[in-house]
Amino acid sequence: MKLHPGKLLAPTALCLLLASCAQTGPPLPPSLELPKPPTDLRATRKGNRVTLRWTGPTLTTDRQIVRYLGPTLVCRSLQPDPIEPEITQCGNPAATLPAPSVAPSRSGPGLPAPQTYTDLLPPALQTPDPAAEIIYAVEILNRSARGAGLSNRVHVPAVFTPPPPSDLAAELTGDGVVLTWTSAAEIQSPALQHRYRIYRRDEISGKDTVAGEIPLAESGPASFTDSSFEWEKAYLYHVTAVSILKRPGGEVQVEGEDTPPVRVIAHDVFPPSVPVGLQAAYSGEGQRPFIDLIWAPVTNADLAGYNVYRGESSGAALKLNSNPLPSPSYRDSAVASGKTYTYSVSAVDVRGNESQRSEETSEPVP
């Protein structure tokens, strides 16, 4: 039987079409599995401790999923360095962190893992030069100890920070918490200053508040009074020396180490100041007699008011008011002719602490 040429053409074309669909491109080279360098390296300094934070990679440089990670190199360099002004390669790393104990997920990129490392600065890297900086970078290697380069660089001031006071003490008074210590001598430099920063920590919430700052001047006794706290709470105080660098771009601050905390229970057993300047004046011509009292205001912040006491020739003095008086004045209308009255006043705070009574003053009623 003779086949028609058109019947042979259709199957042949179909076979060619299917063959072309099955063809693939040239084989891809195997992945080098180089972890992508971090781009979010950050650094904070406290005393001689520099804390580095970055996000661990989940992809390689050829956008493959990271299957294995090797060690991480922590790179550190002091600037200015005439030989190497900026880190270009790790060279002699400051630290080599071991490979993660858990391998990244093979099914897909997982959540980026936050990484942290704290570097202890040797004394040789701390300098009085306010312009000197320490440069950090990290390089993450694969399991063959190969990397794709350094992360972003971060700069940290290399300035020396004074040690914290060794003899911090606290005393609770009616005026506040009085902190005392021995101050060190300041390193003199036009571009470098030092202060003592006083921190107050609420023992229940754990929140730190800057209670105040004083200059670090000549060596010798130093003190600070904190009156901004709340009574009937417990606090922990510590002091740190702060280095303030004057730079063209603005002020840079580096905190030193902290003193051991001192604990204070702010229980108010301190009365307000004793009122002064008490005066009494009789009035009664053509009207019901009375005696007006006035005195100087007491300026304590927690003042609740005043009590007025009156005595006669015989018997103890009695308090005339049932509730604390809000203002430094009082009119006594319960007086009788022919008697002499002796008055004194006291101050009361919001927690019921009462001061001693003022000096007495007397006024006769004709």
136-155 residue pLDDT tens: 999 999 999 999 999 999 99
Query: Domain with 202 in it: what CATH number?
Result: 2.60.40.10
Q: How many domains does the chain have?
A: 3
Whole-number pLDDT of residue 15: 43
**pLDDT grade for 17, boundaries at 50, 70 and 90:** very low
DSSP 302-337: TEEEEEEEEE-SSS--EE--SS-BSSSEEEE----T
Q: For position 138, which CATH number holds?
A: 2.60.40
pTM: 0.76
pLDDT in tens, 181-202: 999 876 667 888 899 999 999 9
Where does residue 79 rank: exposed (0-12), middle (13-18), buried (19+ CB within 10 A)?
middle
Residues 48 and 136 in one domain: yes
Does any domain span residue 31? no
Decide: 173 and 179 in contact? Cβ < 8 Å.
Answer: no
Q: Do 117 and 180 belong together in one domain?
A: no
pLDDT tens digit sequence for 92-138: 899 999 998 765 555 455 567 899 999 999 999 998 888 899 999 99
Which pair of structure tokens corresponds to residue 236? 């922990």
Chain CA centroid to CA 265, Å:
21
CA gap 304, 323 in Å, rounded: 10
Residue scoring higher pLDDT (316 or 103): 316
Asked if residue 30 is part of any domain, the answer here is no
Q: Tokens 């959540």, residue?
A: 111
For 37, the 3-state DSSP assignment is coil
Domain boundaries, position 327: 279-364
Q: In what order do the strands lie in the sheet with 361-364?
A: 318-319, 303-311, 340-349, 361-364
Question: What proportions of the chain, in percent to the nearest 5, are helix, strand and coil?
Answer: 5, 45, 50
- Among the listed residues 251, 41, 38, 36, the one whose alpha carbon sits nearest the alpha carbon of residue 154: 41
